[in-house]
A and B are shown apart, each in its own frame.
Chain A
């Protein structure tokens, strides 16, 4: 059972004096998967990763790699390697020496080292860069060398600490796809931490959304996006329009909510969350779930005035203000040509189905993502 998982955490807790950075986290990562930990800065994800790498010891709980506990095993003896946030390539060595560093420490003979280094450099698509200095590499190349330096050691798990953070947007988009492909080819388990939801959603098989030291939800990217389990996940993953309101009736499928600002929306009733009448809730609707001047579903309708057209190619949207309550909303603007004439100041009708409306019991923690 245990050896199906490359990495397991059991009730891991890390406290710094009074502050609990990681609060009772358990996870199990299957062999060969791409696992992301997504959370805002300061949520404890770096601390968790450093505990996996061995730079910090958990206050309590257990960490298992390939079924064996690694508590008390120093970082240089753990079968995990880490790609650092700023890559931490050794500037005093050239590319080949950087990649060979770990093998040398293991006492591998020179011929094998040379062969493995060449193989690994070829695998990351930089076959002839061995004699280059680190300063001669571009950002994307450095990235690949940092990964090659770890992969050459055949780690059970590769830990990546926001390695794309320092790259410019275009390169980051490119590296996302490349990293996913690379992971798919080599089949090593990747644990990737990031605060960028798009990185996590695009690359991962499984994403854990972390907030204030705890996992809010673990699941496939689609799952997190379409079936968020908590208000934090609904607000943090993807764009959402959000209201505060009070439950005011409904039936077994749907909940009616009286919004604080006035008006009423109907949301899907989540079987797991028992909401009582009069309970304060947060309501979330994705911008792309809202139809403009549409027929379709009419569970929720309202009229609004366009304040701004935010043109961004396929990701264009409208900023609108609801006529009755003055609540600001974002609505996706499909670039099909049908809405090409919409401009600021127009009055439009918005509608969406209750199934695409989520509501969660209002909580103070993490309500501002």
Chain B
């Protein structure tokens, strides 16, 4: 008898939990799971004629057999990893400075200065870069005026410019987790490192970085995903030659109106980002829950 009541009690509890979790589950299902299932299904069919579809792997086969798609895919991955790395290398000293050298008001001011560019949309920020870097732009004019360059200098539409734009766009997402994780590092640990004979390099390598690892991992994951999925920056700063995979997906959906192929590409991008994040976590010996929590 008592067994029965306890089961009933458990049932009520489960129902309550389900009710509370319902908005979350609905959100997850409608906005994440359902579109992806559909994306997957669309990617696995071939259009035979008007309104007639057949199951086929042709979209994936096409991806692997066409070097342009394949190259764009790898290039996007490599550039994104590099952009993430650059963001980390630039963001780490900045975060360290904010977290460890600044006190009180100065800290807030610096932090705010990292945030200020994000008050305007990414599009506006990117056009800002274009004003600076285009052939008739500020930098080009300055170079001509100062006599360093003879004619107009075009600084847009190359990989370096894409990289600058990507790093600039992502910096905040690296600095926020790094500052918070470095803030939590007890100063006396750093002092103890020096006291026991360490120098700047070994203290950073043995004490600061191991402590900051969860922050580094979470910053890198966010920056990598933002970069890999970025459309605006590579497209505007890199022009036609930017060869970013998201542009390829856009072309399939919008220009070619080939939803099947676009879906397959979208799905491949998801696989790529999951794979690289997984490998990154394995290499840095972090777990996803540790990184997020």
Are A102 and B207 neighbours in the complex by a CB distance under 8 Å? Answer: no
Min C-beta distance of B185 to chain A, whole Å: 10
Instruction: Given A86-B186, A101-B206, A105-B202, verify A55-B191 contact (CB < 8 Å).
Output: yes
Min C-beta distance of B183 to chain A, whole Å: 16
B211 nearest in chain A by CB position: A92
Give chain A residues whose Cβ lies under 8 Å from the Cβ of B211. Answer: 91-92
Tell me whether B102 is interfacial, beta carbon within 8 Å.
no
Instruction: Given A92-B207, A92-B210, A92-B211, verify A76-B188 contact (CB < 8 Å).
Output: no
Q: What would 27 A/B residue contacts be, using CB atoms closer than 8 Å? A: A54-B195, A55-B191, A55-B194, A74-B194, A76-B195, A76-B196, A76-B197, A81-B195, A81-B196, A82-B191, A84-B188, A84-B191, A85-B188, A88-B188, A90-B189, A90-B193, A90-B206, A90-B207, A92-B210, A93-B206, A101-B196, A101-B198, A102-B196, A102-B197, A105-B199, A150-B196, A153-B197
For window 175-222 of chain B, which residues contact chain A by CB distance below 8 Å?
186, 188-189, 191-199, 202, 206-207, 210-211
Are B196 and A153 neighbours in the complex by a CB distance under 8 Å? Answer: yes
For window 127-156 of chain A, which residues contact chain B by CB distance below 8 Å?
149-150, 153
Instruction: Given A92-B210, A92-B211, verify A82-B198 contact (CB < 8 Å).
Output: no
Identify the interface centre among A84, A85, A88, A106: most chain B CB within 10 Å of its CB. A88
Instruction: Given A92-B207, A101-B206, verify A84-B192 contact (CB < 8 Å).
Output: yes
Q: What's the Cα separation between A76 and B190 when bound, in Å?
A: 11
Q: What's the Cα separation between A82 and B191 when bound, in Å?
A: 9
A82's contact among B186, B192, B199, B210, by CB below 8 Å, is which? B192
Give chain A residues whose Cβ lies under 8 Å from the Cβ of B189. Answer: 88, 90
Tell me whether A75 is interfacial, beta carbon within 8 Å.
yes
Are B188 and A86 neighbours in the complex by a CB distance under 8 Å? Answer: yes
Q: Contact residue range for chain B?
A: 10 to 19
Q: Contact residue range for chain A?
A: 20 to 34
B194's contact among A76, A106, A149, A153, by CB below 8 Å, is which? A76
Give chain A residues whose Cβ lies under 8 Å from the Cβ of B202. Answer: 105
Q: What's the Cα separation between A53 and B196 when bound, in Å?
A: 10
A106 nearest in chain B by CB position: B197
Q: What's the Cα separation between A74 and B195 when bound, in Å?
A: 9
A146 nearest in chain B by CB position: B192
Are B198 and A105 neighbours in the complex by a CB distance under 8 Å? Answer: yes
Give chain A residues whose Cβ lies under 8 Å from the Cβ of B197. Answer: 76, 102, 105-106, 153
Q: What's the Cα separation between A150 and B191 when bound, in Å?
A: 13
Q: What's the Cα separation between A105 and B195 when bound, in Å?
A: 11
Q: What's the Cα separation between A105 and B197 when bound, in Å?
A: 6
Q: What's the Cα separation between A205 and B192 when bound, in Å?
A: 27
Q: What's the Cα separation between A37 and B80 when bound, in Å?
A: 57
Q: A54-B195, A101-B198 are in contact. List 11 more A-B contacts (CB 8 A).
A: A53-B195, A75-B194, A75-B195, A82-B195, A90-B207, A92-B211, A105-B197, A149-B196, A150-B196, A153-B196, A153-B197
Q: What's the Cα separation between A93 and B209 when bound, in Å?
A: 12
Q: What's the Cα separation between A273 and B194 when bound, in Å?
A: 46
Min C-beta distance of A72 to chain B, whole Å: 15
* B205-244 contact mask (Cβ, 8 Å, vs A): 1 or 0: 0110011000000000000000000000000000000000
B199's contact among A55, A76, A101, by CB below 8 Å, is which? A76
For window 70-102 of chain A, which residues contact chain B by CB distance below 8 Å?
74-76, 81-82, 84-86, 88, 90-93, 101-102
Identify the interface centre among B192, B195, B206: most chain A CB within 10 Å of its CB. B195
For window 99-118 of chain A, which residues contact chain B by CB distance below 8 Å?
101-102, 105-106
A105 nearest in chain B by CB position: B197
Give chain A residues whose Cβ lies under 8 Å from the Cβ of B196. Answer: 76, 81, 101-102, 105, 149-150, 153
* B131-154 contact mask (Cβ, 8 Å, vs A): 1 or 0: 000000000000000000000000
Q: What's the Cα separation between A55 and B191 when bound, in Å?
A: 8
Are B198 and A76 neighbours in the complex by a CB distance under 8 Å? Answer: yes
Q: What's the Cα separation between A54 and B194 when bound, in Å?
A: 10
Give chain B residues whose Cβ lies under 8 Å from the Cβ of A102. Answer: 196-197
B209 nearest in chain A by CB position: A92
Q: What's the Cα separation between A101 and B193 when bound, in Å?
A: 8
Min C-beta distance of B212 to chain A, whole Å: 10
Q: What's the Cα separation between A105 and B186 when bound, in Å?
A: 21
* A144-178 contact mask (Cβ, 8 Å, vs B): 1 or 0: 00000110010000000000000000000000000
Min C-beta distance of A40 to chain B, whole Å: 22
Nearest first, the 8 A-B pairs at minimum CB distance are A105-B197, A102-B196, A92-B210, A88-B192, A88-B188, A84-B188, A75-B194, A76-B194
* A231-250 contact mask (Cβ, 8 Å, vs B): 1 or 0: 00000000000000000000
Give chain B residues whose Cβ lies under 8 Å from the Cβ of A82. Answer: 191-192, 195
* A255-296 contact mask (Cβ, 8 Å, vs B): 1 or 0: 000000000000000000000000000000000000000000
Give chain B residues whose Cβ lies under 8 Å from the Cβ of A92. Answer: 206-207, 210-211
Min C-beta distance of B210 to chain A, whole Å: 4
